[in-house]
Chains A and B, each alone.
Chain A
Amino acid sequence: MSQDSGRDPIAFVDQRLGAAATTRKALRYVFPDHWSFQLGEIALYSFVVLLATGVYLSLFFESSLSRTVYDGGYAPLAGTEVSRAYASAVRLSFDVPAGLLIRQTHHWAALVFVVAIVMHLMRIFFTGAFRKPRELNWMIGLTMLGLALVEGFAGYSLPDDLLSGMGLAIAQAVAMSIPLIGGDVTYALWGGEFPGSPEFHSRLFITHVLLLPGALAVLIALHLALVVRQRHTQFPGPGRTERNDVGSPMWPGYALRSLSLLAAVCAVLFLLGGLVQINPIWQWGPYEIWEGTNGAQPDWYLGWLIGALRLMPNWEPHVAGYTLVPNPFWGGALFPAGLFGLLYAWPLIEQRLITRDTSRHELLDRPRDNPVRTAAGVAILTLVVLVFGFGSSDRALVTAGFAYSLQLTVTRVAVFVLPPVAFLVALRVCRELRDRDAHPLREWDGGYVRRRPDGGFEVVPEPPRSSAPPPR
């Protein structure tokens, strides 16, 4: 029994690590089932794709702004003097086998990564999954969202194409606009003015390929460790209580389905990466400070910041000829800081001001179950979507002909009017649904709890249609 033939891997590992009992327990770990619980997994698997494709790219990318003459396979740029970063990014797109596929897949994965995080965030918010005991994990998740935005921005700023340079110039202006400390902190980060500091590109590179991915990896590990420690939330249902988890065990069903999701994420990203062009840097051209373009759009997750910068009136307080608060501060720094601050504080706000409920919650709310929370979430979402939409105002002008000034006026009014309206509508809808307990798209499919003569309780299915509406 204890012989060490080396033929039995389970015995081999267990005799050295004593891992058999733990592994068996892990294989029977229960995952509650609901499609919305997969959103976080999609983010995780996008991150896996990002790491794998990113490593491949880093083997070919040259992080240097020193000048060189491009002589690769893209004829229109032949003989142009460009930076080595730009030249190598174009070269890996045209002259490295599968280089373009991997580069575009990397970019698409970054977009999907942030989409999945935002969807996951909304799922957590609207079902109240952030409540005690999960407030810390909510904050870790928000931090990862913030890091993912910066990481994505740093990534598309690396190739030193025109879009990179314009983005970095705006980012520097926003950072400098922070009152009092902005100028000095920005100069420390950028190593001086932009463009011009030779160190900056190396800093950007190490930030993108090591510091932020490392921080994200640590936070992901922490995020998952907390989930395992606290176990999963679940929607209410038969046999589900605050003290248990009902669902599929890890082995074999859940593991196979989750790996299937990983493969599906890979499939979608590689198909996008090869079939749908993204960020054609050879079309934008190399960055020069005197050039600009209004056809190129930044990655989607920056749209709300562009929109906020554009939406702000040209308000720039100054005293005796000296600027106090430069304009980019309002839309580029204060707006996102306020939004993230509100989200970080939400579990506390809800606990102290709205529900006054300090007990633990393992069973999820449906959005209607907490109308004020849902309405607040809808209002915030309305504001962000309006501002985000205005980030595409120039595209709306070019493609649909909506006058820019008209869009500006309408959106400036709408950001004050629509969120409160959305709040009231969502509040009303939630209360109505909760009171009638009807699903907006489905017929009544619940059951009734009935007390039996012997004192126990039982759930009976739907009574005949003619009976009275379900009791409140």
Chain B
Amino acid sequence: MRRLLRAIVALLVGTRAVRGAARGEQPEQTEADPRRREIVSTPRRELVLAVLLLAAAAFAIAFVVLILGGDPVQWEAVTLGGAFACLAAALGYAGLKVVPQETEVEERPQLEGPEAEEQLRRTLAAGGDGVSRRRLLTVAGLTAGGSLAAALAVPAISLGPAVGEAPFRSPWRRGRALVDEHGEPISADDVVEGSHLTAFPADADPRELGSPVALVRVAPDTLRLPPERRDWAPEGLLAYSKICTHAGCAVSLYRYPLSEDTTGEPPALACPCHYSMFAVREGARVIGGPAGRPLPQLPLEIAADRTLRAAGPLSGAVGPAWWGVRRT
């Protein structure tokens, strides 16, 4: 068993361990001078080596043929990987079984030399011989260096705009229609309880961070929105920014327990990146996960033709926060 384990380890680590383990049992350990040189090559071993090298060549040629023939990636891997595996075996075999096996001793170079250090100090100091106003020159030199560094660093400001208080613009305005990803208007009847839709502002860029909203429907009598949002959810329809306030992923999961009584968990939008949970009935209050503030809500209204429209802008800043951003 131990031998088997050793063999596996040896295969993994380049067969050095086997020799180390085998050597450990020899009395050689007691010798003070570990130097040795052993000639190990035999005609048989040289033949094995040649066979391994030719096998590598055969695999490599097979790879060339495959590439020209356009065969699947698995065969490319087997041939190219096989060629390298045979080459690895050949080189390892040559290194361990064919060339002379040596253990050598090399003296370490002396790194530090107190005398050299002292001479270096003197040479450096000698560069200032005859200079009397050192402090002035030091200050002037540092000023020049610092100013130049600043001058060279200043162009970095054109790398990007300064971050404002709310850089993620939102196209949502009162009266703007909600459309799906093909630009078709969304009717209130398209939204069924338990599922969620992604909606975008009509005639605006859907790829702006402030654009996509998640649209869900809950029973109106279960709503627990803050009083000032009483009219924001007609028929229990709710729209929240789809960009997570934690790290900016799309809040693309909707947890809708079939039985709240047994799970004790209310319907919630969830972010698949770090699993922040936003309770949809309560204005996307954070009920789990790392998000620090709720998703901004979009007030809705239902037009005469049952299509959905925004009744105002989003309730707060979209997306992740940063130093000094307004939370609401």
Measuring CB to CB, which residues of chain A are less than 8 angstroms from any residue of chain B?
28-30, 33-35, 38, 97-98, 100-101, 104, 133, 166, 169-170, 172-174, 176-184, 186-197, 229-231, 237-240, 242-249, 252-257, 259-264, 266-268, 270-275, 288-294, 306, 309-310, 312-316, 318, 321-328, 331-332, 362, 393-394, 404-405, 445, 447, 458-461
Number of chain B residues whose Cβ lies closer than 8 Å to a Cβ of chain A: 102
Q: A239-B31, A325-B323 are in contact. Are A260 and B248 (CB under 8 A)?
A: no
Alpha-carbon distance between A275 and B321 when the two chains are bound, in angstroms: 42
Task: Find out whether the CB atom of A172 lies under 8 angstroms from the CB atom of B248.
Answer: yes
Task: Find out whether the CB atom of B207 lies under 8 angstroms from the CB atom of A289.
Answer: yes
Alpha-carbon distance between A393 and B14 when the two chains are bound, in angstroms: 36
Contact with A along B88-101 (1 / 0, CB 8 A): 11111011100111
- Write the nearest CB–CB distance from B15 to chain A, whole angstroms: 8
Q: A188-B156, A310-B274 are in contact. Are A182 and B323 (CB under 8 A)?
A: yes
- Write the nearest CB–CB distance from A206 to chain B, whole angstroms: 13
Which of A181, A312, A314: most chain B Cβ within 10 A?
A314
Q: A192-B160, A248-B104, A253-B101 are in contact. Are A459 and B248 (CB under 8 A)?
A: no
Task: Find out whether the CB atom of B91 lies under 8 angstroms from the CB atom of A187.
Answer: no
Alpha-carbon distance between A405 and B321 when the two chains are bound, in angstroms: 25
Alpha-carbon distance between A190 and B16 when the two chains are bound, in angstroms: 48
Task: Find out whether the CB atom of A246 lies under 8 angstroms from the CB atom of B246.
Answer: no
Q: A35-B16, A98-B67 are in contact. Are A243 and B108 (CB under 8 A)?
A: yes
Task: Find out whether the CB atom of A324 lies under 8 angstroms from the CB atom of B76.
Answer: no
| Closest residue on chain B to residue A264 by CB atoms | B88
User: Which of A170, A189, A239, A458 contacts B34, CB < 8 Å?
Assistant: A239
User: Which of A104, A194, A292, A310 contacts B290, CB < 8 Å?
Assistant: A310
Q: Which residues of B contact A459 (CB under 8 A)?
A: 29-30
Q: A35-B16, A323-B321 are in contact. Are A314 and B102 (CB under 8 A)?
A: no
| Closest residue on chain A to residue B276 by CB atoms | A314
Alpha-carbon distance between A172 and B28 when the two chains are bound, in angstroms: 60
Task: Find out whether the CB atom of B324 lies under 8 angstroms from the CB atom of A323.
Answer: yes
Task: Find out whether the CB atom of B105 lies under 8 angstroms from the CB atom of A244.
Answer: yes
- The reply on B293 being an interface residue by CB < 8 A is yes
Task: Find out whether the CB atom of A326 lies under 8 angstroms from the CB atom of B85.
Answer: no
Task: Find out whether the CB atom of A458 lies under 8 angstroms from the CB atom of B30.
Answer: yes
A-B pairs, top 10 by smallest CB distance, nearest first, are: A274-B77, A316-B292, A256-B95, A294-B272, A183-B163, A260-B91, A35-B13, A292-B252, A267-B84, A290-B212
| Closest residue on chain A to residue B213 by CB atoms | A290
User: Which of B32, B76, B95, B323 contacts A257, CB < 8 Å?
Assistant: B95
- The reply on B159 being an interface residue by CB < 8 A is yes
Q: Which residues of B contact A324 (CB under 8 A)?
A: 323-324
- Write the nearest CB–CB distance from B298 to chain A, whole angstroms: 14
Alpha-carbon distance between A284 and B20 when the two chains are bound, in angstroms: 48
Alpha-carbon distance between A401 and B231 when the two chains are bound, in angstroms: 40
Task: Find out whether the CB atom of B286 lies under 8 angstroms from the CB atom of A314.
Answer: yes
Measuring CB to CB, which residues of chain B are less than 8 angstroms from any residue of chain A?
9, 13-14, 16-17, 20, 24, 27-35, 67, 70, 73-78, 80-85, 87-92, 94-96, 99-109, 111, 156-157, 159-163, 167-168, 181, 198, 200, 206-209, 211-212, 242-243, 246-253, 271-276, 286, 288-293, 319-328
Task: Find out whether the CB atom of A289 lies under 8 angstroms from the CB atom of B30.
Answer: no
Task: Find out whether the CB atom of B96 lies under 8 angstroms from the CB atom of A257.
Answer: yes
Task: Find out whether the CB atom of A238 lies under 8 angstroms from the CB atom of B28.
Answer: yes
Alpha-carbon distance between A244 and B105 when the two chains are bound, in angstroms: 7
Q: A239-B34, A290-B198 are in contact. Are A192 and B324 (CB under 8 A)?
A: no
User: Which of B13, B74, B209, B275 contacts A289, CB < 8 Å?
Assistant: B209
Task: Find out whether the CB atom of A253 lies under 8 angstroms from the CB atom of B96.
Answer: yes
Task: Find out whether the CB atom of A321 lies under 8 angstroms from the CB atom of B106.
Answer: no
Q: A289-B207, A314-B291 are in contact. Are A271 and B198 (CB under 8 A)?
A: no
Q: A187-B160, A188-B157 are in contact. Are A100 and B73 (CB under 8 A)?
A: yes
- Write the nearest CB–CB distance from A317 to chain B, whole angstroms: 9
Task: Find out whether the CB atom of A189 lies under 8 angstroms from the CB atom of B80.
Answer: no
Task: Find out whether the CB atom of A179 lies under 8 angstroms from the CB atom of B323.
Answer: yes
Alpha-carbon distance between A267 and B89 when the two chains are bound, in angstroms: 11
Which of B24, B92, B326: most chain A Cβ within 10 A?
B92
Which of A262, A328, A447: most chain B Cβ within 10 A?
A328
Q: A188-B157, A275-B77 are in contact. Are A292 and B273 (CB under 8 A)?
A: yes
Q: Which residues of A contact B206 (CB under 8 A)?
A: 288, 290
A/B interface sample: 27 pairs, CB < 8 A? A29-B106, A98-B73, A133-B111, A177-B322, A231-B108, A237-B29, A238-B30, A238-B31, A245-B107, A253-B100, A253-B102, A255-B95, A257-B92, A260-B88, A267-B85, A271-B77, A271-B78, A272-B77, A274-B75, A290-B211, A292-B251, A292-B253, A309-B273, A310-B290, A314-B290, A316-B321, A321-B326
Task: Find out whether the CB atom of A238 lies under 8 angstroms from the CB atom of B323.
Answer: no
Q: A189-B159, A244-B106 are in contact. Are A331 and B290 (CB under 8 A)?
A: yes
Alpha-carbon distance between A275 and B319 when the two chains are bound, in angstroms: 40
Alpha-carbon distance between A332 and B327 when the two chains are bound, in angstroms: 20
Which of B13, B33, B274, B320: most chain A Cβ within 10 A?
B274
Q: Which residues of A contact B106 (CB under 8 A)?
A: 28-30, 231, 244-246
Alpha-carbon distance between A230 and B29 when the two chains are bound, in angstroms: 26
- Write the nearest CB–CB distance from A187 to chain B, whole angstroms: 4
Task: Find out whether the CB atom of A188 lies under 8 angstroms from the CB atom of B250.
Answer: no
Q: Which residues of B contact A247 (CB under 8 A)?
A: 103-104
Alpha-carbon distance between A260 and B96 when the two chains are bound, in angstroms: 11
| Closest residue on chain B to residue A242 by CB atoms | B108
Additional 9 contacts, C-beta under 8 A, given A33-B20, A195-B207 = A189-B160, A253-B100, A260-B88, A274-B74, A289-B209, A290-B198, A323-B322, A324-B323, A447-B29
| Closest residue on chain A to residue B32 by CB atoms | A239
- Write the nearest CB–CB distance from A250 to chain B, whole angstroms: 10
Task: Find out whether the CB atom of B88 lies under 8 angstroms from the CB atom of A263.
Answer: yes
Which of B9, B253, B275: most chain A Cβ within 10 A?
B275
Task: Find out whether the CB atom of B289 lies under 8 angstroms from the CB atom of A310.
Answer: yes
